[in-house]
Amino acid sequence: MSDTDEAARRGLSRPHAFKKRSVIVIIVVVVMVLLVLLMFLMLFMMVMVAFVGEVILIFMLHAPMGSHGSARTCQA
């Protein structure tokens, strides 16, 4: 109990330093959150690009069920 009271008294006795430190902490937290969001966005974009590429490849392989598609599969 005495430690918390002492810390509170110290924080109240130096409001400018505490304020400055809190602003720096807020800026650091915001930057870290933005970096994490950017990382998740890049990961999501990579997954989406890979998924879309795979879907396009599947459609390119399976969609042409006409003459040249079946002929290619028969030749292979």
Render pLDDT for 12-67 as a digit per residue (tens, 0 to 9): 555 566 678 889 999 999 999 999 999 999 999 999 999 998 888 888 887 655 55
Q: Per-domain residue ranges for the chain? A: 2-60
Q: How far is it, in rounded angstroms, from Cα 63 to Cα 55?
A: 11
Q: How far is it, in rounded angstroms, from Cα 15 to Cα 17?
A: 6
Model pTM score: 0.45
The more confidently predicted of residues 70 and 43 is 43
The more confidently predicted of residues 71 and 28 is 28
User: Residue 3 has which token pair?
Assistant: 């430690």
